[in-house]
Amino acid sequence: MLDSASGPDPDVVVVMGVSGSGKTTVAKGLATVLGWEFAEGDAFHPEANVEKMRSGTPLTDEDRWPWLEAIGAWISDKEGRGESAVVTCSALRRVYRDLLCEGRPHVRFLHVTAESDVIRDRMEHRPGHYMPPSLLPSQLATLEPLGADEPGVTITNEGSAAQVLNRALAALGHRKEHA
């Protein structure tokens, strides 16, 4: 059983951070526990973006705008239906997060952080992902942490998946009720 501080309004959580920080694992865990729909932000990338990243070329802002707009449209659809949801999106810069929030009052961010050597190790050992570890430095250089005036919280991805999920739930104002 879950208890939520969000009330009857939809709650849309964008799980953000650099590639390899654990966004997908955290977001899937949240969606499962909360019973919300989950979307993988990478699925919204045009094929040209995927090919560019696969080849080791960082995306430009011009590459990212259509991707961010597609994620924003998905969020708008969820809000319009009154549905809570969770989506992953690196959302590395403030301007990207501003775009995701624009006209979407129920969006908030969960920034998942980890040490860069831990992230690099994860990236080197995860099978089947197009993002090469060589792009981590450009992601870290682009990252603008959440500002105090932005809707969201930051957690560290330390410990077991269950510990990180519990930390995320608590930071977002959700808790598991024990029977």
Q: What is the CA radius of gyration of the chain?
A: 16
For 4-45, the pLDDT digits (tens) are 444 468 999 999 998 878 899 999 999 999 999 999 998 999
| Contacts for 27 with CB less than 8 Å, ≥ 6 apart | 13, 15, 38, 40, 86, 87, 88
For 50-86, the pLDDT digits (tens) are 888 888 888 888 999 999 999 999 999 999 999 999 9
Strand pairing of 174-176 and 2-4? antiparallel
pTM: 0.84
- What DSSP character marks residue 81? T
Q: What distance in Å separates the CA atoms of residue 70 and residue 47, rounded to the nearest whole number?
A: 13
For 103-138, the pLDDT digits (tens) are 999 999 999 988 777 766 665 666 665 556 666 677
